[in-house]
Amino acid sequence: MSAMNQAPREQGVFITFEGPDGSGKTTQIARLAEWLRSAGTEPVLLRQPGSTGLGERIRATLLDSRSEGTIAPLTELALMFADRAQSIHEIILPALTDGRTVLCDRYTDSSEAYQGAGRGLGTERVLALHRALCDGLQPRLTVLLLPDVDAALDRARLRNLHAREANGSDENRFEAEGEAFYRRVHQAYAAIAQREPERVHMVGDGDIETVAARVRAIVQQRFPALMHSVAGV
């Protein structure tokens, strides 16, 4: 996977955001999207699992804690890739072919970190599925938000608690995993960044604005043409 670049048939720029639960990905994607819009570029946003009709059903099945214990690790991995294949087909490839900029909240690195390392299924199995099911599609840039592992765990717990209090949301299957699981996820992300320094840019801790500024700087440096009309950088 490391040497695989985005295939030339796509004209747009494919950017993914990665990180453990509680790393602030969703906020940072929104910030980058806002900045791109201010330059007249309307990005296509999506999340994995989710965003397609099928994907949201897969997401609900996977993340609903009521299913805890009933989904085998390999089934979980297969469902992640089923979701991914569908969103590539329905959203990502059409958008890239149209020359759009795509910001995707999680992609194959999440499967490598969570199923490969977290669940112990191994990197090779995940990368083999990526080759088989993702149509050779690799992000041009992956922004990896990798805060201190303890801080991330605290934030994930808090977020879960608030979500449950506010709307009874029950997406806590993954957050209910033990600390050792999260440490494996964290280590796997660090290893991916080390293995693919060209693609993966790691952004460490900081307040929302500091991290957003770092993300903008990376995007601007990597895609100057995309950024030519953005003001105030």
Give the x/- contact pattern for ligand TMP in 147-186, rule: CB under 6 A: ---------------------------x------------
Cβ closer to ligand TMP: 35 or 107?
107
Cβ 43 vs Cβ 100: under 8 Å: yes
Which phi and psi angles does 226 have, rounded to 5°? -65, -30
Q: List the helix and strand counts (H, then E) for the chain.
A: 10, 5
Torsion of CA 205, 184, 86, 102, to 10 degrees: 20
Task: Rule CB under 6 A: choose which of 35, 114, 182, 189 binds ligand TMP.
Answer: 114
CA–CA separation, 102 and 44 (whole Å):
5
Task: With beta carbons less than 8 A apart as the criterion, state whether 133 and 84 touch.
Answer: yes
Quote the least distance from Cβ 175 to ligand TMP, whole Å.
7
Report the residue number, 129 or 226, with the smaller CB distance to ligand TMP.
129
Give Cα 170 to chain centroid, integer Å. 20
Q: Which stretch binds ligand TMP (CB under 6 A): 2-10, 37-45, 105-113, 136-144?
A: 105-113
Token pair recorded at residue 56: 């949201």
- The DSSP secondary-structure symbol of 19 reads -
In the sheet that holds 44-47, the strands lie side by side as 44-47, 102-105, 14-18, 141-145, 200-203
Q: Residues 49-88 vs ligand TMP: string with x where CB under 6 A?
A: x------------------------------x--------
Cβ-based nearer residue to ligand TMP, 43 or 55? 55
Segment contacting ligand TMP (CB under 6 A): 35-43, 103-111, 131-139, 141-149? 103-111
- Only one of the segments 3-11, 46-54, 91-99, 209-217 lies at the binding site for ligand TMP (rule: CB under 6 A); that segment is 46-54
Residues lying near ligand TMP in the complex (CB under 6 A): 21, 47-49, 80, 105-106, 110-111, 114-115, 174
